[in-house]
Amino acid sequence: MARALELAKLAAEAGEVPVGAVIVDPATGEIVAEGANAPIAGHDPTAHAEIVALRAAAAKLGNYRLTDLHMYVTLEPCAMCAGAISLARIGKLVFAACDPKGGAVIHGARFFEQPTCHWRPEVEQDEAAGETASALLKAFFRARRA
């Protein structure tokens, strides 16, 4: 999660919403891929940190199925990202900050609880990192409103 938080800070420095994600092989502890929010820079509304990391991991491994890998992300995934996580068959999702407005894992649509969801990762919240991620997001948006 520490690397995901670093990526979130880099996203903020680039003017993007500060969200970072890493995909890890739990058997080796190796970071397989990482991503930071980049919809503005990439002119791509789908360039959320999770999607960026999923694309990189799939390309690196030569397979769109990322079964048994773990994703660490600084913010509760939205519906689009939860859907992509499910399609990639990520084994475990760990997120830091809750997103009551846009999240779709424990808020909103609760994507993985829907009967139409064919793959459900194990889900865990890292509450300690959530405080750091939340503070980073609040500072980013506070500066935007100033």
Residues that constitute the known binding site: 48, 78, 81
Long-range contacts of 80-84 (CB under 8 A, 24+ apart): 80/46, 80/48, 80/51, 81/48, 81/50, 81/51, 82/109, 82/111, 82/112, 83/111, 84/50, 84/51, 84/54
Residue 24 pairs in a beta bridge with 31, 70
Contacts of 67 (CB under 8 A, 6+ apart): 89, 90, 91
Going by the annotation, the residues of the binding site for Zn(2+) are: 48, 78, 81
Active site residue 50: yes
What single DSSP character describes residue 114? S
Active-site hit among 50, 76, 113, 127: 50
Question: Residue 138: exposed, middle, or buried by beta-carbon count in 10 A (0-12, 13-18, 19+)?
Answer: exposed
Q: Mind telling me the catalytic residues?
A: 50
